[in-house]
Chain A
Amino acid sequence: MYRSRRSQLIGIAYLAPALVFVLAFTAYPLVQMTWMSFHSWSLITPAKYVGLANYRRAFADDQFWVSFAFTLKYTAIITPLLIVGGYLLALLTSESSRLRRITRTTVFIPVVIGLGVSSLLWYWLFSTDFGLVNKALTDLGLISKPVLWLGVDADRSNLAIIASVVWKVIGFGMILFVGAIQAIPREITEASLVDGASYWQRVARVVLPLTLRTVLVVTLVSVIGSLLAFDQFYIMTAGQPQNETATSVFYVYLNSFPYLKLGYGAALSIILALTILVFTVVQLLLTRRSHA
């Protein structure tokens, strides 16, 4: 419809604001961060070129590895819970009875509230003396004295936080799985019914294979989200004990802001971004295939 040179210019004019915005607020910071990662800089002293020293320092830094390992551990525990749990919930709620639909809507509610706010809510529920978790466990006779859930033992803190995040985001995978399950053509489900397959046989042989791509994509989205975890740890443990529960993003934050080691923080950011990039590329390749 618009073919002339003039219309080309009009098109560019419509595109220009977004282009300038992304240049200024995504591309430029990315370039600056890369530059910073090769410098030693603390805002007070001028930046000094140090080559790869910041990167070498990261790999020799115990806390970097503690944070990285802790983030991986958190991701490794929470991902299967979210995917398997989300899938089971999807199987339960993908049928269209009224109760199932209500359940689907209800499970999804925590997804739309903030992670910061849900972390505050669970910070209260898991609080030693004021929390309802200890209160309920005591009343049920399961514990004799209040448990110190958060900030004392890294593994126990991790479990409490994982419980809260599973509650918060399990609906995300569920809703996408429901979409994938409902997209399976009715004839295929009916054909397997005629074959006399039991429910779980049908799930294993028909439903799961036909929704596998969605499962993989949600797994990747979920892994990326977990590797970038921050809010829940900042709020519920503040990294305690001794920064054992400070995740990778938390460690970047600590170096860049309270400690003002800008160059070092930038190098840590780049390492983090490259780690995430591996997963993002796989995710994009998987999602691209759906267009073909």
Chain B
Amino acid sequence: MTATVELRRARATGARARTRSGRARYLLGAACITICTVMLLPLAMSVLASVKPTAEAAASPPTYLPHALSLDSYGRLWTYQQGLPTYLANSLGTALLTIAFTLLLTVPAAYALARFPIPGKEVIFVFLLLALIVPYQALLTPMFLMFARIGLTNTLVGLAILHTAIQLPFSLYIMRNSLSAVPRELEEAAVTDGASSWQVLLRVCIPSTKPAIVTVALFAFIMSWNEFLGALVMMSRGSSFTLPLILAAARTETSLGGTDWGMLQAGITISIIPCVLVYLLLQRYYVSGLMSGAVK
């Protein structure tokens, strides 16, 4: 009896909520659209500024929308200092090396941690996560001195090593969780068939942890492509600059005396595109990686 009354009351409030939500829905929809606009506007403005003709890109006060379209800014960027291809190759090379190093180190290590009876395993795991508690910003000076001694400053390998050190704890954590979740029956079947541990890793474990591998590679790419301070410290020679470094340098000095704003926007646009593309394509992996990396 009381249950019926309560249910009816609940339905009534539900109905009221629904009519109110009719109006609220439009307001919230408008809020969503406003928020999207605010978030996209700076990016859109930068892309639009990158296709303004040279004179318009340097105009003060600036125009909102380009009055004519031109790729001149991209042309100037293409030949700026050592040329865009050099900086793109440096950024991409470092990012790919970082992905390779990170996977080559963390996949076997996570496999060992998840499957082998190693004495002091937990202690080793915590030690491998050392970089979590020491911010890399604080370790740059000794890293720089070491790299200078062994000739790794101004090299892509050196910068990739630094980026790998930054990315290692997160990657190891993700890989270990994923490998621990692979059903042991699969491996046991392979072992019964005479597979060595190495073959088990290659044929069973790696194929069944693909999502984790994609997540690790994705985060390594985005971090390395975007990282600024480490690159600033390690790369002093212009020819080894990454994209963020050359753009930061171009913000103050150009051949004409003032900042070449159009060229800067062209560079910003080019830096942003890979990140946004990779994110939109692999959003699922990105969000799940973030959840398990940051919160759990």
- Residues of A whose CB lies within 8 Å of any CB of B are 1-3, 7-8, 10-15, 17-19, 21-22, 25-30, 32-33, 36, 89, 92-93, 99-100, 102-103, 105-110, 112-117, 120-125, 127, 129-132, 134-135, 138, 146, 167, 171-172, 175-176, 179-180, 193-194, 196, 214, 217-218, 221, 224, 228, 230-231, 234-235, 249, 252-253, 256-257, 262, 265-266, 269-270, 272-273, 276-277, 280-281, 284, 287, 290-291
Give 1 or 0 for each of B167-193: 1 = CB within 8 Å of chain A CB.
010001000000000001001100100
B31 and A11: CB pair below 8 A? no
Residue of B nearest to A123 (CB): B251
Q: Is the interface of A mostly helix, strand, loop or mixed?
A: helix
A114 and B46: CB pair below 8 A? no
Could you say which of A30, A257, A291 contacts B233, with CB atoms under 8 Å apart? A257
**Contact partners of A11 in chain B: CB under 8 A:** 112, 115-118
Apart from A125-B42, A176-B295, what 17 extra A-B contacts exist at CB < 8 Å? A8-B119, A11-B117, A14-B109, A14-B197, A27-B127, A30-B142, A102-B36, A116-B248, A124-B49, A127-B261, A130-B59, A167-B39, A196-B9, A266-B141, A280-B132, A284-B133, A290-B295
- 5 residue pairs of the A-B complex, CB under 8 angstroms, read A11-B115, A25-B162, A132-B45, A179-B287, A269-B141
Could you say which of B14, B62, B294 contacts A193, with CB atoms under 8 Å apart? B14
Bound-state Cα–Cα, A221 to B105, Å: 26
A114 and B279: CB pair below 8 A? no
Instruction: From known contacts A15-B112, A21-B168, A193-B10, infer whether A29 and B271 are also in contact, taking CB-CB under 8 Å.
Output: no
B265 and A117: CB pair below 8 A? no
Residue of B nearest to A197 (CB): B13
**Contact partners of A221 in chain B: CB under 8 A:** 294
B45 and A175: CB pair below 8 A? no
Instruction: From known contacts A26-B134, A99-B29, A100-B32, infer whether A117 and B271 are also in contact, taking CB-CB under 8 Å.
Output: yes
Q: What is the total number of residues of chain B having a CB less than 8 Å from a CB of chain A? A: 105
Bound-state Cα–Cα, A86 to B117, Å: 43
Residue of B nearest to A164 (CB): B42
Instruction: From known contacts A19-B128, A92-B28, A121-B46, infer whether A134 and B61 are also in contact, taking CB-CB under 8 Å.
Output: yes
- Stretch in B67-75, B82-90, B221-229 touching the partner: B221-229
B159 interface residue (CB < 8 Å to A): no
B188 and A1: CB pair below 8 A? yes
**Contact partners of B222 in chain A: CB under 8 A:** 112
Bound-state Cα–Cα, A129 to B290, Å: 39
Instruction: From known contacts A129-B61, A179-B295, A266-B141, infer whether A10 and B42 are also in contact, taking CB-CB under 8 Å.
Output: no
B6 interface residue (CB < 8 Å to A): yes
**Contact partners of A281 in chain B: CB under 8 A:** 133
In order of increasing CB-CB distance, the 10 nearest A-B pairs are A11-B116, A114-B226, A18-B109, A116-B228, A14-B112, A29-B142, A116-B244, A269-B138, A14-B108, A32-B142
**Contact partners of A172 in chain B: CB under 8 A:** 290
**Contact partners of A3 in chain B: CB under 8 A:** 117
Q: Which of B130-149 contact A (CB under 8 A)?
A: 130-135, 137-146
Instruction: From known contacts A130-B62, A194-B6, A272-B138, infer whether A121 and B268 are also in contact, taking CB-CB under 8 Å.
Output: yes
**Contact partners of A256 in chain B: CB under 8 A:** 140-141, 144
**Contact partners of A36 in chain B: CB under 8 A:** 141-142
The distance from the CB of A140 to the nearest CB of chain B, in whole angstroms, is 13
The distance from the CB of B208 to the nearest CB of chain A, in whole angstroms, is 16
Instruction: From known contacts A18-B109, A124-B265, A266-B141, infer whether A10 and B116 are also in contact, taking CB-CB under 8 Å.
Output: yes
Bound-state Cα–Cα, A125 to B228, Å: 20
- Among the interface residues A14, A17, A27, A33, which one has the most CB atoms of the partner chain B within 10 A? A14
Residue of A nearest to B127 (CB): A22
Instruction: From known contacts A17-B109, A257-B233, A269-B141, infer whether A109 and B116 are also in contact, taking CB-CB under 8 Å.
Output: no
**Contact partners of B133 in chain A: CB under 8 A:** 277, 280-281, 284
Could you say which of A13, A14, A26, A135 contacts B61, with CB atoms under 8 Å apart? A135
Bound-state Cα–Cα, A288 to B184, Å: 26
B137 and A115: CB pair below 8 A? no
B272 interface residue (CB < 8 Å to A): yes
- Among the interface residues B109, B127, B130, which one has the most CB atoms of the partner chain A within 10 A? B109
B134 and A273: CB pair below 8 A? yes
Instruction: From known contacts A12-B118, A26-B131, infer whether A120 and B264 are also in contact, taking CB-CB under 8 Å.
Output: yes
**Contact partners of B287 in chain A: CB under 8 A:** 175, 179
Could you say which of B39, B61, B143 contacts A29, with CB atoms under 8 Å apart? B143
B251 and A120: CB pair below 8 A? yes
The distance from the CB of B250 to the nearest CB of chain A, in whole angstroms, is 9
A252 and B137: CB pair below 8 A? yes
B276 interface residue (CB < 8 Å to A): yes
Bound-state Cα–Cα, A193 to B130, Å: 46
Residue of A nearest to B105 (CB): A18
Bound-state Cα–Cα, A171 to B39, Å: 10
B172 and A18: CB pair below 8 A? yes
